[in-house]
């Protein structure tokens, strides 16, 4: 593996020589069980098609409205948890709570199902399996291939646990996707769910697309779309929010300015009388700047890996042999403080 850290190298890999640096078969092998044929595990035409579809989905008013109402509803529960902790002077594990919050929100946005895990006493089995499976996939990157592959064949250790966790994940999502397809085929899907979750919107988009084929309506393919969507939205959002609150705890002056901005522009929100809409949030310029600074200091995806298809020479003269993994630490691009 070659570690790249210059701006020129980043530009070469992400732009100038983009087609020569896909995710590659090695990364796909590490992630296949969980991500399948989703956007984070595929390259070339499959990647372009899913990216195009995702771009279409996130410009739809239906999805924006669905996301707003879903997040607002779960914010009410989140506020109740904070108030209860404040009254009893209890400690709150923010990272754990925010992961629950984003899991609750993005599973509902993704396939229209409420996990009811935000204020539960125990972790939801799906969330536990989802988090644990990602940890095992990360271990594959640092462990010798023969080691984790042997564990997988024998069904022992971390790989044995992964197999059990995948049963939970697949059972949950396949059940939902299959029911969605059946309802659409029979024309019996509930009115309030039509066109509001990712699966429904994705199927609607495919129906109106000239690029769609039968494989796009395969439950396995739709399962992969949902899993990748949850990872894209849930994990990155939870991490960004966790770092955001950490940064606020270290910078009380910034916290004061944020509170002043909210009190000035959204007084009802400041006094806990409502949950914000997307239009409301767009007025909070200082909050946005603080979030952007958080992402600069602590990017949700701190390192990206690519694999060279052919021998390549970067602008700074670095030679990357065919098949070599190139690691690009995004976190290293921040300026020295």
CATH of the domain at 199: 1.10.630.10
**Residue 298 half-sphere exposure toward CB, CA atoms < 13 A:** 15
Q: How many domains does the chain have?
A: 1
Distance CA 41, CA 272 (A): 42
Q: Is residue 217 in a domain?
A: yes
Instruction: Identify whether the C-beta of residue 313 lies closer than 8 Å to the C-beta of residue 324.
Output: no
C-alpha to C-alpha distance for 230 and 113, rounded to whole angstroms: 13
Question: Could you tell me which of 204, 196, 206, 289 has the C-alpha nearest to residue 251?
Answer: 289
Structure-token pair, residue 51: 């990216």
Q: Is residue 67 part of a domain?
A: yes
Residue 121: which domain range? 31-234
- Domain assignment of residue 306, yes or no: no
Q: From first to last of its 337 residues, what are the pLDDT tens digits of the chain?
A: 899 988 899 999 999 999 999 999 988 899 989 999 888 888 888 888 888 877 777 776 767 777 888 888 888 899 899 999 999 999 999 999 999 999 998 888 877 788 888 888 888 999 999 999 999 999 998 899 999 999 999 999 999 999 999 999 999 988 888 887 777 777 654 444 445 677 777 777 767 666 666 666 788 888 888 888 888 888 899 999 999 999 999 999 999 999 999 999 988 888 877 778 888 888 999 999 999 999 999 999 899 999 999 999 999 899 999 999 999 998 877 765 5
Q: Does residue 44 belong to any structural domain of this protein?
A: yes
Predicted pLDDT of residue 196:
67
Asked whether residue 64 is domain-assigned, the answer is yes
């Amino acid at each position: 593996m070659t570690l790249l850290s210059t701006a020129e190298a980043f530009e070469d890999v992400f732009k100038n020589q983009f087609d020569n640096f896909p995710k590659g078969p090695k990364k796909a092998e590490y992630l296949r069980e969980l991500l399948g044929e989703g956007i984070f595990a595929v390259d070339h035409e499959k990647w372009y098609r899913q990216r195009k579809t995702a771009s279409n989905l996130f410009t739809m008013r239906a999805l924006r409205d669905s996301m707003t109402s879903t997040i607002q509803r779960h914010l009410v529960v989140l506020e109740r948890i904070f108030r209860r902790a404040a009254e009893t002077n209890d400690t709150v594990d923010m990272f754990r709570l925010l992961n629950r919050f984003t899991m609750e929100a993005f599973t509902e946005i993704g396939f229209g199902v409420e996990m009811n895990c935000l204020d539960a006493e125990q972790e939801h089995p799906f969330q536990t399996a989802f988090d644990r499976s990602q940890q095992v996939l990360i271990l594959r990157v640092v462990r010798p291939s023969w080691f984790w592959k042997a564990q997988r064949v024998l069904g022992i250790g971390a790989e044995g646990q992964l197999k059990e966790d995948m049963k939970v994940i697949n059972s949950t999502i396949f059940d939902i996707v299959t029911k969605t397809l059946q309802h659409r085929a029979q024309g019996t899907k509930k009115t309030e769910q039509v066109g509001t979750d990712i699966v429904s919107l994705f199927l609607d988009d495919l129906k109106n697309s000239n690029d769609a084929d039968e494989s796009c309506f395969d439950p396995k393919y739709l399962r992969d779309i949902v899993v990748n969507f949850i990872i894209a939205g849930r994990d990155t959002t939870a991490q960004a929010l966790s770092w955001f609150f950490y940064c606020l705890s270290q910078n009380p002056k910034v916290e004061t300015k944020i509170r002043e901005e909210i009190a000035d522009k959204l007084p009802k929100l400041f006094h806990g009388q409502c949950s914000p809409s997307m239009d409301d949030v767009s007025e909070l310029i200082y909050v946005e700047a603080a979030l952007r600074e958080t992402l600069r200091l602590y990017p949700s995806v701190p390192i990206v890996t690519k694999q060279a298809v052919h021998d390549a020479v970067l602008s700074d003269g670095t030679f990357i042999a065919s098949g070599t993994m190139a690691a690009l630490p995004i976190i290293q691009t921040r300026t020295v403080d």
